[in-house]
Chains A and B, each alone.
Chain A
Amino acid sequence: MREFDVQLLTDAVRRMAAQSNQILSPDVYAGLVRARESEDGLTAQSILDDILRNADLAAGKAMPICQDTGMALVFLQVGRDIHFQGDPYEAIQEGVRQAYEENYLRKSIVKDPLRRINTGDNTPAMIYTELIAGNQVKVSFAAKGFGSENMSQLAMLKPADGVEGVKRFILKAAREAGPNACPPIVIGVGIGGNFDKSALLAKQALMRPLDVRNCDPFYAALEDELLEQVNNSGIGPMGLGGRTSALAVSIEVLPTHIAGLPVAVNINCHATRHAEEVL
């Protein structure tokens, strides 16, 4: 049993929230550079140039890449041999509180969905916990903007809809997201599980580095096919026309019920902000 001081969590979240909001992760930056090279239209080229210059500027000046510094998401994978000294959830909230205040990040969270009073410190973060083997804690952080979150969709398809039905639904979601989700977008897909697990899978798919494909060749091929079809839409950077509508499609799957085929599509913008640490 390892004794684990929750202050480590506060410090890690504080670091990752600052870093991910100011420095575009290398996988996303490389994807945008490739996108710029593939465009032949002036509007699309100039938009991608601006997006890359913005990333350089934000990193250089320690400014947020985007003013929507997101809802803080924290994925915790806790080794079974960990004993926390203190409350890990409150430690995470404290890390978010400190990072958003110290780094002049925007506080975008309201306390109640209908009465809408800002909490003033960007808490609460949404926290997802999973138990794993060992005595380490893996922490993944994402700053999730809502321009793209608002464009996400979920469907309870019939088993008879099959792979074609799944493809149609994913393409429909990407099409309807159009310019609103700040393309080139990243598309996270969850297939299987049940209603809520499919949505969680879609979100977890967004945490995967953009250059990593699903380890099952069947789903890796589906990811490639969908990415090509989304890019054939011509939506392009910021939706004003061009080749790069999406940087990646990432699919995660789970077993499901004989009567069901849940599919969730969670969408991220080109400022896909994620970071990971092992403690």
Chain B
Amino acid sequence: MIKKVNTPLNEESARSLRIGDRVLLSGTVYTARDAGHERLYNALLRGEDLPFPLQGAVIFYVGPSPAKPGSVIGSAGPTTSYRMDSYTPMLLEHGLKGMIGKGQRNEEVKAAIKEFGAVYFAAVGGAGALLAERITDAKIIAFEDLGTEALRQLEVVDFPLIVAGDAEGRDLYIEGPEEYRAQHEIDADNYGGQLQ
């Protein structure tokens, strides 16, 4: 089913989402990827304020391509999330409620999603032109020196996402392939062994 969700997210709405839900997200999201996360993490360690309110925030892991004249943003698809895993539990502890990326998270991130009541959304990787259509505003709010990795505030309307990790600790990257193999009666010998 398709659910309309607005940001900022509260714990109750984050906890109500389940893996496999298709979501159209609207509101403000913030962009950060490798270098941006390192800075946010170090700022939290030093007890400093972040450039945006983390409470209820959704972070989109993206380094967009440059905007053409007259465009809000260039292509803007998700980057692979695991590179942000070492920074993520602390961000969740400080109020982050949603992440948009692609690919599996580690056990620490999944545990923190469960503990703090958050949600991990997958966007379609490599669909940067399609996703850019749903971004109505973009501005750099910090770390401008990082270029494509600068921290941006985006406004999105009906941004298409799939819940990949939920607050019950479930993981669609595990359950989705398992379900396919069960439905098609494929055993481990037919694809070269266990996935995990």
Show the binding face of A for B, using Cβ within 8 Å.
41, 43, 46-47, 50-51, 53-54, 57-58, 61, 63-69, 104-108, 118, 145, 147, 150, 167-168, 171-172, 175, 178-180, 182, 229-230, 232-236, 238-243, 269-271
Chain A residues contacting B190 (CB-CB under 8 Å) are 229, 232
Report B172-196 CB contacts with A as 1/0, cut-off 8 Å.
Answer: 1101111111001010001111010
- Asked if B193 and A171 make an inter-chain contact with CB atoms under 8 angstroms apart, the answer reads yes
- Asked if B127 and A104 make an inter-chain contact with CB atoms under 8 angstroms apart, the answer reads no
A152 vs B130: C-alpha distance in the bound complex, in angstroms?
27
A107 vs B74: C-alpha distance in the bound complex, in angstroms?
12
Minimum-distance CB pairs A-B, first 8: A241-B176, A171-B192, A234-B180, A234-B177, A232-B191, A54-B130, A54-B127, A58-B129
**Given A63-B129, A182-B125, CB of A239 within 8 Å of CB of B80:** no
Chain A residues contacting B22 (CB-CB under 8 Å) are 46
- Report 10 cross-chain contacts, Cβ distance below 8 Å, ordered by A residue: A41-B180, A51-B124, A65-B75, A66-B127, A107-B148, A108-B63, A147-B80, A180-B80, A233-B181, A240-B173
**Given A64-B65, A171-B191, A239-B103, CB of A234 within 8 Å of CB of B178:** yes
- Asked if B79 and A68 make an inter-chain contact with CB atoms under 8 angstroms apart, the answer reads yes
Chain B residues contacting A46 (CB-CB under 8 Å) are 22
Q: What is the distance, in angstroms, from B60's C-beta to the closest C-beta of chain A?
A: 11
- Asked if A240 and B122 make an inter-chain contact with CB atoms under 8 angstroms apart, the answer reads yes
**Given A50-B130, A54-B130, A65-B126, CB of A233 within 8 Å of CB of B148:** no
Show the binding face of B for A, using Cβ within 8 Å.
20, 22, 62-68, 74-77, 79-80, 82, 102-104, 122, 124-130, 132-133, 147-148, 160, 162, 164, 172-173, 175-181, 184, 186, 190-193, 195
- Asked if A179 and B102 make an inter-chain contact with CB atoms under 8 angstroms apart, the answer reads yes
- Asked if A105 and B192 make an inter-chain contact with CB atoms under 8 angstroms apart, the answer reads no
**Given A150-B80, A182-B126, CB of A241 within 8 Å of CB of B133:** no
- Asked if B74 and A67 make an inter-chain contact with CB atoms under 8 angstroms apart, the answer reads yes
**Given A57-B133, A67-B75, A235-B177, CB of A270 within 8 Å of CB of B65:** no
- Asked if A179 and B173 make an inter-chain contact with CB atoms under 8 angstroms apart, the answer reads yes
- Asked if A67 and B162 make an inter-chain contact with CB atoms under 8 angstroms apart, the answer reads no
Q: Which of A67, A168, A242, A270 contacts B76 (CB 8 A)?
A: A67
Q: Which residue of A lies closest to B187 (CB)?
A: A232
- Asked if A180 and B82 make an inter-chain contact with CB atoms under 8 angstroms apart, the answer reads yes
Q: Which residue of A lies closest to B69 (CB)?
A: A104
A58 vs B129: C-alpha distance in the bound complex, in angstroms?
6
A270 vs B126: C-alpha distance in the bound complex, in angstroms?
8
**Given A67-B64, A106-B63, CB of A168 within 8 Å of CB of B126:** no
Q: What is the distance, in angstroms, from A242's C-beta to the closest C-beta of chain B?
A: 6
- Asked if B127 and A50 make an inter-chain contact with CB atoms under 8 angstroms apart, the answer reads yes
**Given A172-B192, A230-B191, CB of A107 within 8 Å of CB of B177:** no
Chain A residues contacting B79 (CB-CB under 8 Å) are 68, 147
- Asked if B162 and A43 make an inter-chain contact with CB atoms under 8 angstroms apart, the answer reads yes
- Asked if B67 and A43 make an inter-chain contact with CB atoms under 8 angstroms apart, the answer reads no
Q: Which residue of B lies closest to A179 (CB)?
A: B103
- Asked if A106 and B64 make an inter-chain contact with CB atoms under 8 angstroms apart, the answer reads yes
**Given A57-B130, A147-B79, A234-B180, CB of A67 within 8 Å of CB of B173:** no
A132 vs B63: C-alpha distance in the bound complex, in angstroms?
40
- Asked if A106 and B126 make an inter-chain contact with CB atoms under 8 angstroms apart, the answer reads no
Chain A residues contacting B181 (CB-CB under 8 Å) are 232-234
Chain B residues contacting A51 (CB-CB under 8 Å) are 124, 126-127
A271 vs B186: C-alpha distance in the bound complex, in angstroms?
28
- Asked if A53 and B75 make an inter-chain contact with CB atoms under 8 angstroms apart, the answer reads no
Chain A residues contacting B176 (CB-CB under 8 Å) are 43, 234, 236, 239-242
